[in-house]
Amino acid sequence: MPGAYYISMPDIRKRLVVALGGNAISAADKQGTIDEQFAQVSETAEVLCDAIERGYQLIVTHGNGPQVGNILRRVELARSELYPIPLEVCVADTQAGMGYMIAQCLSNAMNRRNLTCDVTAVVTTVMVDADDPAFQDANKAIGPGLTSAQAESHRVRDGWQVRDEGGGRFRRVVPSPLPRKIIEMPAIERLVDVGQIVVCCGGGGIPVAVDSLGRVRGVAAVIDKDRTTGLLARHLHAPALVILTAVEYACINFGKPNERRLEQISADEAETHLKAGQFGAGSMRPKIETAIDFVRCSPHQDAVAIIAHVNRFADALDGKCGTRIVRE
Amino acid sequence: MPGAYYISMPDIRKRLVVALGGNAISAADKQGTIDEQFAQVSETAEVLCDAIERGYQLIVTHGNGPQVGNILRRVELARSELYPIPLEVCVADTQAGMGYMIAQCLSNAMNRRNLTCDVTAVVTTVMVDADDPAFQDANKAIGPGLTSAQAESHRVRDGWQVRDEGGGRFRRVVPSPLPRKIIEMPAIERLVDVGQIVVCCGGGGIPVAVDSLGRVRGVAAVIDKDRTTGLLARHLHAPALVILTAVEYACINFGKPNERRLEQISADEAETHLKAGQFGAGSMRPKIETAIDFVRCSPHQDAVAIIAHVNRFADALDGKCGTRIVRE
Who among A74, A96, A217 is closest to B96 (CB)? A96
Average pLDDT on A82-97 reads 96
DSSP state of B286: H
Determine the residue among A104, A158, A196 to mutate to test chain B binding: the one whose Cβ has the most chain B Cβ atoms within 10 Å. A104
DSSP state of A177: P
Whether B199 and B174 have beta carbons less than 8 Å apart is answered as no
Distance between CA A170 and CA A176 in Å, rounded? 19
Q: Which of B23, B143, B203, B230 is catalytic?
A: B23
Burial B82-95 (b: 16+ CB within 10 A, else e): bebbbbbbbbbbbb
Q: For A125, which residue in chain B has the nearest alpha carbon?
A: B100
Torsion of CA A297, A298, A304, A306, to 10 degrees: -60
Among the listed residues A276, A308, A273, A309, the one whose alpha carbon sits nearest the alpha carbon of residue A292: A273
The ipTM of this complex is 0.95
pLDDT, mean over chain A:
93
3-state secondary structure of A79: coil
Cross-chain Cβ contact A6/B5 below 8 Å: yes
Q: Which residues of B touch A13 (CB under 8 A)?
A: none
Tell me whether residues B77 and A78 touch, CB distance under 8 A: yes
> What would the pLDDT profile of B167-218 be if each residue is shown by its tens digit?
999 999 999 999 999 999 999 999 999 999 999 999 999 999 999 999 999 9
For A6, the closest of B4, B111, B190 (CB atoms) is B4
Phi/psi for A61 (5° steps) reads -115, 170
| Banded model confidence at residue B2, pLDDT cuts 50, 70, 90 | very low
Handedness of CA B316, B320, B322, B326 (dihedral sign): positive
* Residue of B81, B101, B118 with shortest CB distance to A77: B81
Between chain A and chain B, the number of residue pairs with CB atoms below 8 A apart is 183
To the query of whether residue B140 is one of the catalytic residues in this protein, the response is yes
Put simply, the answer to whether B187 touches A184 (Cβ < 8 Å) is no
| CB burial of residue A130 (10 Å; 0-12, 13-18, 19+) | middle
Confidence bin at B23 (pLDDT 50/70/90): confident
CA distance A262 to A248: 10
Higher local confidence (pLDDT), B147 or B7: B147
Contact at CB, A34 and B74, closer than 8 angstroms: no
Q: pLDDT grade, residue B144 (50/70/90)?
A: confident
- Find the catalytic residue in A21, A22, A203, A322: A22
Strand partners, B119: B197
Is A92:B97 a contact under the CB 8 Å cutoff? yes
> Residue B140 forms beta bridges with which residues?
B174
Question: CB-CB: which of A81, A99, A186 is closest to B123?
Answer: A99
- Residue-wise pLDDT tens digits, A155-185: 999 899 999 999 999 999 999 999 999 999 9
CATH no. for B5-127+183-326 = 3.40.1160.10
The overall average pLDDT reported for chain B is: 93
Interface mutation vs chain A, best among B83, B100, B158, B193, most A CBs within 10 Å? B100
Residue of A322, A304, A324, A303 whose CA lies nearest to A312: A322
B32/A104 Cβ within 8 A = no
In 3-state terms, what secondary structure has residue A255?
coil
> A37-72, pLDDT tens digit by residue?
999 999 999 999 999 999 999 999 999 999 999 999
Q: How far apart are CA B200 and CA B59, in angstroms?
A: 8
In this prediction, residue A2 has a pLDDT band, given cuts at 50, 70 and 90, of: very low
- Three-state secondary structure call for residue B272: helix
Residue ranges per structural domain of chain B: 5-127+183-326
Q: DSSP 3-state assignment of A30?
A: coil
**A14 in active site:** no
Q: Determine the pLDDT at residue B4.
A: 61
Closest Cα in chain A to B192: A187
The SS3 assignment for B182 reads strand
Closest residue on chain B to A34 (Cα)? B85
- The whole-angstrom separation of Cα A290 and Cα A309 is 17
The Cα of A206 is separated from the nearest Cα of chain B by a number of Å equal to 8
Mind giving me the DSSP string for B121-157?
EB--EEE--TT-GGGGS--EEEEEEE-HHHHHHHHHH
DSSP string, A47-65: HHHHHHHTT-EEEEEE--H
Handedness of CA B198, B202, B204, B207 (dihedral sign): negative
User: pTM value?
Assistant: 0.96
Residues of B in contact with A107 (CB under 8 A): 216
The confidence score (pLDDT) of residue A1 equals 38
d(CA A123, CA A102): 13
Contact at CB, A4 and B9, closer than 8 angstroms: yes
Residues 6 or more apart whose CB falls under 8 angstroms from that of B46 comprise: B109
Substitution target from A26, A190, A216, A217 for chain B, most B beta carbons within 10 A: A190
Q: Give the number of other Cβ atoms within 10 Å of residue B260's Cβ.
A: 11
Q: Which residues of B are less than 8 Å from A111 in CB distance? A: 214-216
DSSP state letter for B54 = T
Q: Which residues contact A310 (CB under 8 A, 6 or more apart)?
A: A20, A21, A23, A24, A44, A47, A244, A245, A246
Nearest CB to B83 within list A34, A86, A191: A34
- Beta-carbon separation of B75 and A74 below 8 A: yes
Q: Is B23 labeled as catalytic in the residue annotation? A: yes
- Average pLDDT over every residue of A263-271: 97
For residue A88, what is the nearest residue in chain B, using CA coordinates?
B97
Contacts of B187-191 with C-beta under 8 Å, sequence gap 24+, read B187/A118, B187/A120, B187/A191, B187/A196, B187/B122, B188/B59, B188/B122, B188/B124, B188/B232, B188/B236, B189/B235, B189/B236, B190/A190, B190/A191, B190/A194, B191/A187, B191/A190, B191/A191, B191/B120, B191/B122
CB contact under 8 A, A100 and B92: yes
What DSSP element (H or E) covers A93? helix A87-112
Of the partner residues B9, B108, B118, the one whose CB lies closest to the CB of residue A215: B108
Distance CA B123, CA A154 (A): 33
Angle separating helix axes A87-112 and A34-53, nearest 10 degrees:
60
State the pLDDT at residue B30: 66
Cα separation values, B321 from B119, B249, B307, B309, B325, Å:
28, 8, 9, 9, 12
Among the listed ranges A136-140, B12-16, B269-273, B282-286, which one has the minimum average pLDDT value? B282-286
Q: pLDDT tens, A282-296?
A: 789 999 999 999 999
Enumerate the β-bridge partners of residue B60. B18, B199
B32 is catalytic: no
A75 → chain B, closest CA residue: B74
